[in-house]
Amino acid sequence: MGKDVIIACDFPGGRECLEFLDKFKGRRPYIKIGMELYYATGPDFVRELKSRGYSIFLDLKLHDIPNTVRRASTVLGRLGVDMLNVHAAGGSAMMAAALLGIAEAGSDTRIIAVTQLTSISPEVLKGELLIDQPLDMVVQQYAKNAKAAGLAGVVCSPLEAEVVHAACGVDFLTVTPGVRFAGTDAGDQIRITTPARAKQLGSDYIVVGRPITSAADPTAAYDRCTGEFIG
């Protein structure tokens, strides 16, 4: 399984996204389309980017009753995206329903599960969500649930890639946001590390948004990321 850097294309509209991607002059980085861009542009924009040859992680974090998630997954699976995600907190039946939906679409989209958002701190986990277990053990348990449901991997912090692989095997994907260059602003992210450290910890894909999209020179920032992560 090839390691890669996925750029989080968190833009308000299709024009801004295409202007950004044009900077890569014919190169086709792996991209993530999240809620902001998808809600602004819809399925046609995803089809357009697929037809231009991009690998796409559609980060819509489905979380609903199993029947609803199954039906939504069928619709999204037909877009031919490479990865789609659901919240592990929706439970095993919901995760299995997402897989069923993808199968009904006749699609080979990989489904992964969000464990705990990388913006969640141990204090919030315990104080607000009333989860008493250590954060990495919660992530590990959610990963085991996702694997048992048949999913391809999880979204977690690079800091948790090791415990996930230890429990679920090295072939179980860890897709990891929460990546920042050394000495730069974390923004709203809490459980962060650098691309180089994410590589050491065994992340399969790093998801990087603002350090690339807000950089003065985005292609140089992307190249720095891939250099540090893939080497």
Catalytic site residues? 61
CB of 115 to ligand C5P, least distance (A): 7
DSSP E strands in 156-196: the ranges are: 173-176
Site residues (CB under 6 A) for ligand C5P, limited to 173-212? 177, 187, 189, 207-211
Distances from the Cα of 167 to the Cα of 30, 34, 92, angstroms: 27, 28, 17
CB-wise, 59 or 204, nearer to ligand C5P? 59
CB of 213 to ligand C5P, least distance (A): 7
**Phi, psi of 149, rounded to the nearest 5 degrees:** -80, -10
Rounded to the nearest 10°, the torsion over CA 76, 214, 199, 110 is 0
Q: Of residues 21, 33, 72, 114, which one binds ligand C5P by CB under 6 A?
A: 114
Q: Of residues 118, 140, 194, 203, which one binds ligand C5P by CB under 6 A?
A: 118
**Phi, psi of 207, rounded to the nearest 5 degrees:** -105, 115
CB of 28 to ligand C5P, least distance (A): 19
Owner of token pair 């991607």:
21
Segment interacting with ligand C5P (CB under 6 A) among 72-80, 93-101, 113-121, 136-144: 113-121
Helices (H), 58-108: 66-77, 92-104
Per 3-state DSSP, the chain is made up of helix, strand and coil in percentages (nearest 5) of 45, 15, 35
Check residue 59 for interaction with ligand C5P (CB under 6 A): yes
Q: Of residues 5, 10, 140, 172, which one binds ligand C5P by CB under 6 A?
A: 10
DSSP E strands in the chain: the ranges are: 4-8, 30-34, 56-62, 83-87, 110-114, 153-155, 173-176, 205-208
What would the x/- binding string for ligand C5P be over residues 140 to 179, using CB under 6 A? ---------------x---------------------x--
CB of 34 to ligand C5P, least distance (A): 4
CB of 2 to ligand C5P, least distance (A): 20
Binding site for ligand C5P (CB under 6 A): 8, 10, 34, 59, 114, 117-118, 155, 177, 187, 189, 207-211
